[in-house]
Amino acid sequence: MAVQPVESTTSAGVFLGPAAALSCRECGERFGLGPIFACASCFGPLEVAYDLPTGDPEGLRKRIEAGPHSIWRYAPLLPVPADVADKPNLNPGLTKLVKADNLARELGVTGGLYVKDDSGNPTHSFKDRVVAIAVEAARAFGFTTLSCSSTGNLAGAVGAAAARAGFRSCVFIPHDLEAGKVVMAAVYGGELVGIEGNYDDVNRFCSELIGDPLGEGWGFVNVNLRPYYGEGSKTLAYEICEQLGWKLPEQIVIPIASGSQLTKIDKGLKELIALGLVEDRPYKIFGAQAEGCSPVSAAFKAGHDVVRPQKPDTIAKSLAIGNPADGPYVLDIARRTGGAVEDVDDGQVVDAIKLLARTEGIFAETAGGVTVGVTKKLIENGLLDPALTTVVLNTGDGLKTLDAVAPTTGPTATIKPSLDAFRAAGLAD
C-alpha cells in the first residue's frame, strides 16, 4: 500500500506533519505541540513524539529516494508540513559520506572508515539542519523574530535562514568567538550581539529574555523551539544509513557540545529500525570532547551518572559548552550501545585537523579535529574496533577556525622566482 504522511495538529490548528505531541523524556507526560521546552510536572526536557508512517517500509524507502536532494526527502519522519520543500528555505542536507581509505590506512582501520562531511551545508556546518526544522516551527507558531544563543555556527545558520525565510533575526554569542564565525553571523544583515562571558552566560541571558516582554514574538531556536530544532540532527542518521545502502553503521563517532546531536542521531537510528528501513543490529555510539571542555567525558570515565559543569578552555569553541543539557542522556547512550566518551587536548585537535586534510582533502573545523583525534585515541586504547564499519562526523568547515592551525601552517618555503632558487630549497625532488 502507498505510504501517506500522518498530519497531526494542536488545538490551535497548527500542522507539523507526523508530529503528534511533545513528550517529557523523564516522566513521559505529553503536551500539545507548542513553543515549550520543559515539562510542567517535572521540568524534564521535551521532545517530539510522532505518528510515523508504518506498514510499508519498501514504499517509504522508495518515496524517500525519490524525494528532494535535501533533508526534506525525510519530511514524512520530521515535524514539518508536507509542503515544506516548496517554502523559502536553505534546503540543507544530503552532504557527502566520504569513504576515507587514506585516513583508514593511517589509523589502521580495516572495516571501512567514512567521514560524514557536513561542511557542505549552506553555511558550512550541520547547524543548517536543525535551524531548518526550527524555522518551520517558528512559522507555525507565528513568531516574527528568530534568535539563538550560539558558539558561532548556529548564529550564522540562524542569520542565513532568517534572511531567506523573511524573518528578523537577533542572535547572541560570546564576545571572544573566532573572527570568521563573527563575520559569517553578521553578514546576513540581522542583529548580532556579543555577550561578555562564555556560552553558558549567553544561554542564561537568553533564558531571561524569553521570560521578559522584550522577548514577545521571538523564537529561540535552541530554547523555546528546542524540541523541534533538535529533530534536525536525526537527518544525519537517516542520510548515513541511506548512503551506506540502508544499513546501520557499526560504530559512529560524534562531537559533543550540548549533546543533542548525539542523542538525536541515536533517536534517528532507532526510528529507522522501528520503521523497517534498516536491519536491526548492534551499533556503538562514541562521544568526542575537547579536553578543555570535557564534562561528559569526565563523568563517563568516572562512572558517574551526573555531569559536573566545567569552565571551558579550549580552541574547539564550537564544543565549549561547560554545562551540556543532554550530557546525562549521552552517558546513557554510550553505555547502552557499548560505546564510550573520550577527549583530546588542543594539540591533538590541531594534529587531527591536519591529518584529515592531508589524507582526505577535507579541511575540518576544530570540532572535526576533535572527532578525528578521539577516533585515533579510541583505536589506540582498544575501545573502538578497527575491523568494524566506522563513521566519523565532521560538522563544520575549517575556514571558520583558521586561528587554530595558522600558527603551524604556512608556506613550505619562500624563494626568488628562479629555478636555481627552487632547486636550492630542496623542492625539486
* pLDDT at residue 12, as a whole number: 54
Q: How far apart are CA 137 and CA 219, in angstroms?
A: 9
- 32-to-22, 42, 302 alpha-carbon distances in Å: 6, 16, 39
Supply the pLDDT for residue 8.
38
Which neighbouring-strand residues pair with 46? 24
**In degrees, to the nearest 5, what angle opens at C-alpha 21 toward C-alphas 125 and 56?**
80
Pairwise CA distance, residues 326 & 7, whole Å:
29
Nine cell digits for residue 371? 572527532
Residue 117 — φ and ψ, nearest 5°? -100, 95
Return left, alpha or beta for 43; rule: phi > 0 is left, psi -120 to 50 is alpha, else beta. Answer: left
C-alpha dist (Å) from residue 81 to 46, 73, 123, 180: 20, 12, 23, 34
**Structure confidence at residue 181 (pLDDT):** 87
Instruction: Find cell 563575520 and name the residue.
Output: 183
Helix orientation angle between 57-65 and 234-243, rounded to the nearest 10 degrees: 90
Residue 238's SS3 state is helix
State how far Cα 151 lies from the chain centre: 13
Q: Which residue has the cell 524525494?
A: 67
- Longest alpha-carbon distance in the chain: 79
Q: How many angstroms separate the CA atoms of 21 and 17, rounded? A: 11
pLDDT given for residue 110 in this prediction: 98
**DSSP-assigned beta bridge partners for residue 172:** 149, 193
E strands, 19-154, where?
19-24, 30-31, 46-50, 96-99, 113-117, 145-149
Q: What does the CA dihedral 59, 65, 66, 70 come to, rounded to 10 degrees?
A: 130
Are residues 55 and 120 in contact, defined by beta-carbon separation less than 8 angstroms?
Answer: no
Cα 141 from Cα 166, distance rounded (Å) = 15
**Beta carbons within 8 Å of 183's beta carbon, 6+ residues apart:** none
352-357 long-range contacts, CB within 8 A, separation 24+: 352/376, 353/398, 353/404, 353/405, 354/405, 354/409, 355/103, 355/106, 356/103, 356/115, 356/394, 357/398
Instruction: Note the pLDDT of residue 5.
Output: 36
- Give the H/E segment covering residue 37: none
Q: Which three cell numbers stand for residue 29?
A: 507526560
User: What confidence score (pLDDT) does residue 4 get?
Assistant: 37
CB 263 within 8 A of CB 326: yes
What gap in Å lies between CA 108 and CA 102, rounded to an integer?
10
- DSSP secondary structure code for residue 4 in this structure: -
pLDDT of residue 177: 84
What is the predicted pLDDT for the residue at 381?
Answer: 97
Residues of the chain with pLDDT under 50: 1-11
